[in-house]
Amino acid sequence: MASEKAAALVLRVVDFSESSCVVMLYTREFGKIHGLAKGGRRLKGPFESALDLLSLVRIVFLRKSSGALDLLTEAKLERRFRGRGRDLASIYAGYYVAELLTKLTDDYDPHPNLFELANQTLIALGTAANTTSLVLRFELQSLVMLGHQPTLDLCAECGRTVELEGRVHFSHQAGGVICPQCRPGRKQVVSVSAGVVRTLSRFADRSGDAWRRLEVDRGSYGELRALLNHYLAHVLGHELKMPQYLAGPVTW
C-alpha cells in the first residue's frame, strides 16, 4: 500500500492507548481525515510530540478502506498554535476555527483554499489584536468556499434587489435576506439592521482586504453574532459549542 504525504492542521487528539492516539486532521491535499497514530503520545519517535491541537504538521499516512481509520506513520511539526500572549479570546477563536472545520467539511473532500485560510487565520490569531474580525472573516469565507454563503443583496426567494436601509428581513430557511413581498407567511425569519447585513457582505467579499478596516461596535456585534450562530445552526442542523466563548470587540 503506497503512503500519502500531506500538510495538515490538527483538529482533535484522543488518547487510544498508553502510547497511541486517534487524530482528526484537516489536510491541504485530502481534506479531513481520521487516523491512528501508533506511538503518537511518545516524546520520541516518528511523531516527536508534533500532534498538538491546531499545530501545522507534515504527515505521512496509509489510507485505509472506507470506514476504517487511516494509519499515520510520521508527523513532523511545522508550527505550534500559540494564542496572543495570555489572551484567552485568541485561544478560543482558534478552537472555533477547529470546530468549524470539523463540522462544515466532509471526509476526503479537499478545499486547498480553505486550508490556507485556516492556516493564515491561526497564524494571525497569535499576533493580531483584531480577533473578532479574524473570526468573522474566517466564518464568512468558509461559508463562501463551501457553498453555504447567505444571500445578502438579492431576495433569497424571488431574486429582487433588497434595499439595505433600516431593518431587513433575514430568512434562515431561505438562506439570506428576503424582500417585504416575500416576507408574509415565512418561518424562521428575523429582523436585522441593514448595517449588519452590509458588514457580513464585506467579510464575505474575497476581492480584497477592506475587511481589515472594518470597525464593529459591541451593539452591532451582538446582533451579528446571533445571526451567524442561528444561520450556522440551520446549515448544520445543530448548534455549535464554541461561539458562546467568543469575545466581542474591545479595542480597535
Q: 36-40, 187-191, 229-233: which range is least confident on average?
A: 36-40
Q: Tell me, what's the pLDDT at 206?
A: 84
Q: Tell me, what's the pLDDT at 4?
A: 96
Q: Is position 167 within any domain?
A: no
Q: Using the predicted structure, report yes or no on whether residue 68 has a pLDDT greater than 90.
A: no
pLDDT in tens, 119-178: 999 999 998 878 999 999 999 999 999 999 999 999 999 999 999 999 999 999 999 999
SS3 151: strand
Q: How confident is the model at residue 214 (pLDDT cuts 50, 70, 90)?
A: confident
Q: Tell me, what's the pLDDT at 251?
A: 41
Q: Give whole-number Cα distances, 107 to 26, 75, 104, 162, 230, in Å.
A: 9, 20, 10, 37, 24
Q: How far apart are CA 59 and CA 133, in angstroms?
A: 31
Q: Which residue has the cell 461596535?
A: 217
Domain extent, residue 33, equals: 3-79
Q: Using the predicted structure, report yes or no on whether residue 190 has a pLDDT greater than 90.
A: yes
Q: Is position 200 within any domain?
A: yes
Burial class (CB in 10 A: 0-12, 13-18, 19+), 141: buried
Q: Could you tell me if 119 and 235 lie in one domain?
A: yes
Report the DSSP pairing between strands 3-15 and 167-171. unpaired
Q: For the chain, first and last CA: distance in Å? A: 53
Considering 79, 98, 118, which residue would you say is the last residue of a domain? Answer: 79
Number of domains the chain is built from:
2
